[in-house]
Structure 1
Amino acid sequence: MIEIKNLKKLWEDDGSSVLEGINLTIEDGDIYALVGRSGAGKSTLLRCINGLTSYQEGSLKVDGCEIKDLKDKELREFRRHVGMIFQQFSLLERETVYKNVALPMQCWKYPKDQIDKKVRELLELVGLGDKMNAKPRNLSGGQKQRVAVARALTMDPKILLCDEATSALDPKTTNSILDLLMEINQKLGITVIIVTHQMEVVRKACNKACILENGKIADEGTVKEIFIKQPQSLKRLLGEETVKLPDEGHNIQIAHLVNNIHDGELFAKMSKELNYVFPILDGKIQDYQNDSMGIFTINVDDEHLKLVTDYLTKEGLNWHEIEEQHDETKEDEE
């Protein structure tokens, strides 16, 4: 388990804050996303987790061990059990795939027979058993990233950190790498932390996430909760314009699974059964892991509010009333 409490990180050159008031818990076996725009602090937080950068205040514990208290030898031993993959693969171009994967074990002076067994097992796991003698220059981007994943797993890590690991890949290759990470998470029980600005990565692979803005956590929770809630931080990240909502009545946001054509008949069915016609202000359908989920906003007058909300609750639908957003938007702009 990773427990972070009131963490603060300052830039060494000018003392300005890059991370402040970070509080989150990452459970063993999570696939956890740190999401945000460039400069939000997500990669810095990742480096705090593996001890590559220091933090000035607060606590960051991995399995009860405070990272900032580790001495050099202890920190080196700790990092041994933390795998890391990057956007640019960081492979040795003149060496074979086999030697690239074997490198960490060679540095730790493992026996040759143990190295050989592990490398072959991992290359089979990532689907590159037939590429062990190839050079990186002869591999596609997705294959290079698979080599990097195999290399990160050689020391049997408890945690796998992915820093924008799919940002340089096309969508199809990205999906294949995410499928691989989910397989590794399930088969090996490794906790995976993914730094990304791509919400499609979060929706496909992650069970929990936090959105970072200006070094602070703007929202966090399960991916499903964030997806349903559609917070303003998510809309800012996606560059979506805030829908102008009426001042009159009650603006209700509803989330429900849309897996076939009949699921799209929800509002027609609801209007007919309640004998009440309401305007649909906004609607979209997005993929969420193995499902598609519709997010819709309707406007309900005072007279029919209880009727509508009781109906939504009875049908087991996720809904909440959207509070007025003018002031919040104004404050964010300031």
Structure 2
Amino acid sequence: MIEIKNLKKVWEDDGSSVLEDINLTIEDGDIYALVGRSGAGKSTLLRCINGLTSYQEGSLVVNGCEINQLKEKELREFRRHVGMIFQHFSLLERETVYQNIALPMQCWKYSKEEIDKKVKELLELVGLTDKMNAKPRNLSGGQKQRVAIARALTMDPQILLCDEATSALDPKTTNSILDLLMEINQKIGITIVIVTHQMEVVRKACNKACILEHGKIADEGTVKDIFIKQPKSLRRLLGEEKVYLPKTGHNLQIAHMVNDLHDGELFGKMSSDLGYVFPILNGKIQEYQNESMGIFVINVDNEHFGKVTEYLDKKQINWRELEVVDEEEEEEE
């Protein structure tokens, strides 16, 4: 478990704050996303977790260890149980796939027999048994990242930290890497923390997330709740899509799990139950692991506004009213 309380990180050169009042808990077995724009502090927070970066205030406890209190030898032993993968793979180009994966165990003086057994197990796990003797230059980006994942698992870590691990990959390869990480999480129960700005990564692989803005936590919770509730921090991160909104009546954005209640059934039944037909202005379906989220915008006149919102509340369907912004005001902003 990772428990962070009131954590503050200040850059020593200029005294500027990069992380402030960070409070979150990452449970064993979570696939947890740290998301935000560039400069939000997500990679710095990841480096605090594995002790690569110190913090000035607060507490950061990983599996019972307060990171800032660890001495150099203790910190080295701690990092043994924390794997890490990066955006650019960080492989040794002159070494084979086998040698790259074996490197951490060689540094810790494991026997050749132990190394050989572990490397071959991991090669099978990441699907690269046939690439054992290949050099990184002969691998695709996805294969290189699989080697990096295998190398990160050699010491049987309890936690795997991923810093923009799929940012350099195409969408199809990204999906295959996420499938692998989810498989590893399920097979060995490892806790995975993913730093990313790719929301499709969050929706596909993660069960919980926090959104960082200017070094502070703007929102935190399950991925499903965050996307259903559509908090302002998520909307700022995604960028609001421009939708034509009538200046009369009320424009409501409705978000819900399609698998729980199909959109056609929701809107058709609501129209039938209320005896009122309303226009659907915009709609999209977003995938969330094995489920789908529906996000739609409807327009409701003043007469039926109360009845419609009461109906949605009764069905426990998330909604919010969208603000109409004049084009002139938008241009001024």
- Do both proteins adopt the same fold according to a TM-score greater than 0.5, normalized to the shorter chain? yes
Structure 2 contact 312–319 (Cα < 8 Å) conserved: no
Task: Determine the C-alpha separation between the residues in 2 that align with 1:325 and 1:15.
Answer: 41
Measure how far apart 1:290 and its partner are: 1.7
Measure how far apart 1:35 and its partner are: 0.5
Kindly report the root-mean-square deviation, in angstroms, between the aligned alpha carbons of the 2 structures: 2.5
Task: Determine the C-alpha separation between the residues in 1 that align with 2:153 and 2:256.
Answer: 38
Cross-structure match for 1:49: 49
Cross-structure match for 1:142: 142
Aligned-partner residue type, residue 109 of structure 2: K
Q: Percent identity over the alignment?
A: 83
Residues 1:26 and 1:325: Cα distance change in structure 2 (over 3 Å): farther
Task: Determine the C-alpha separation between the residues in 1 that align with 2:102 and 2:112.
Answer: 10
Residues 1:278 and 1:32: Cα distance change in structure 2 (over 3 Å): same
Cross-structure match for 1:23: 23
Task: Determine the C-alpha separation between the residues in 2 that align with 1:174 and 1:134.
Answer: 22
Cross-structure match for 1:227: 227
Measure how far apart 1:241 and its partner are: 4.2
Cross-structure match for 1:165: 165
Task: Determine the C-alpha separation between the residues in 2 that align with 1:97 and 1:120.
Answer: 11
Aligned-partner residue type, residue 76 of structure 1: R
Could you give the per-residue CA deviations for residues 167-209 of structure 1, whole angstroms, max 9, x where no partner exists? 0000000000000000000000000000000000000000001
Structure 1 contact 86–165 (Cα < 8 Å) conserved: yes
TM-score, normalised with respect to structure 1 = 0.90
Structure 1 contact 30–191 (Cα < 8 Å) conserved: yes
Residues 1:114 and 1:325: Cα distance change in structure 2 (over 3 Å): farther
Task: Determine the C-alpha separation between the residues in 1 that align with 2:213 and 2:76.
Answer: 31
1:104 paired with 2:104, answer yes
1:206 paired with 2:202, answer no
Structure 2 contact 253–322 (Cα < 8 Å) conserved: no
Identify which range, 178-187 or 294-303, moves more after superposition. Answer: 294-303
Could you give the per-residue CA deviations for residues 51-74 of structure 1, whole angstroms, max 9, x where no partner exists? 000001111111222111111111
Aligned-partner residue type, residue 150 of structure 2: A
Aligned-partner residue type, residue 320 of structure 1: W
Identify which range, 27-36 or 282-291, moves more after superposition. Answer: 282-291
Cross-structure match for 2:195: 195
Cross-structure match for 1:69: 69
Could you give the per-residue CA deviations for residues 4-41 of structure 1, whole angstroms, max 9, x where no partner exists? 11111011110000111111110000000000111111
Structure 2 contact 255–319 (Cα < 8 Å) conserved: no
Cross-structure match for 1:4: 4
Cross-structure match for 2:317: 318
Spell out the pairing of 1:171-182 with structure 2 (5 A cutoff): 171-182=171-182
Cross-structure match for 1:84: 84
Aligned-partner residue type, residue 135 of structure 2: K
TM-score, normalised with respect to structure 2 = 0.91
SS of 1:195's equivalent in the other structure is strand
Task: Determine the C-alpha separation between the residues in 1 that align with 2:218 and 2:95.
Answer: 43
Residues 1:10 and 1:325: Cα distance change in structure 2 (over 3 Å): farther
Aligned-partner residue type, residue 319 of structure 2: H
SS of 1:181's equivalent in the other structure is helix
Task: Determine the C-alpha separation between the residues in 2 that align with 1:251 and 1:239.
Answer: 18
1:297 paired with 2:278, answer no
Measure how far apart 1:225 and its partner are: 0.6
Aligned-partner residue type, residue 183 of structure 1: E
Measure how far apart 1:255 and its partner are: 2.2
SS of 2:209's equivalent in the other structure is strand
Structure 2 contact 123–150 (Cα < 8 Å) conserved: yes
Identify which range, 259-268 or 11-20, moves more after superposition. Answer: 259-268
Measure how far apart 1:127 and its partner are: 0.2
Task: Determine the C-alpha separation between the residues in 2 that align with 1:112 and 1:97.
Answer: 16
SS of 1:255's equivalent in the other structure is strand
Measure how far apart 1:163 and its partner are: 0.3
Aligned-partner residue type, residue 93 of structure 1: E
Task: Determine the C-alpha separation between the residues in 2 that align with 1:251 and 1:325.
Answer: 8
Measure how far apart 1:302 and its partner are: 5.8
Measure how far apart 1:269 and its partner are: 3.2
Structure 2 contact 33–195 (Cα < 8 Å) conserved: yes
Aligned-partner residue type, residue 170 of structure 1: D
Measure how far apart 1:143 and its partner are: 0.3
Measure how far apart 1:260 and its partner are: 12
Task: Determine the C-alpha separation between the residues in 2 that align with 1:58 and 1:248.
Answer: 50
State the number of aligned residues: 328
Task: Determine the C-alpha separation between the residues in 1 that align with 2:17 and 2:156.
Answer: 34
Structure 1 contact 2–27 (Cα < 8 Å) conserved: yes
Could you give the per-residue CA deviations for residues 61-110 of structure 1, whole angstroms, max 9, x where no partner exists? 11222111111111101000000000000000100100100000000001
Aligned-partner residue type, residue 199 of structure 2: M
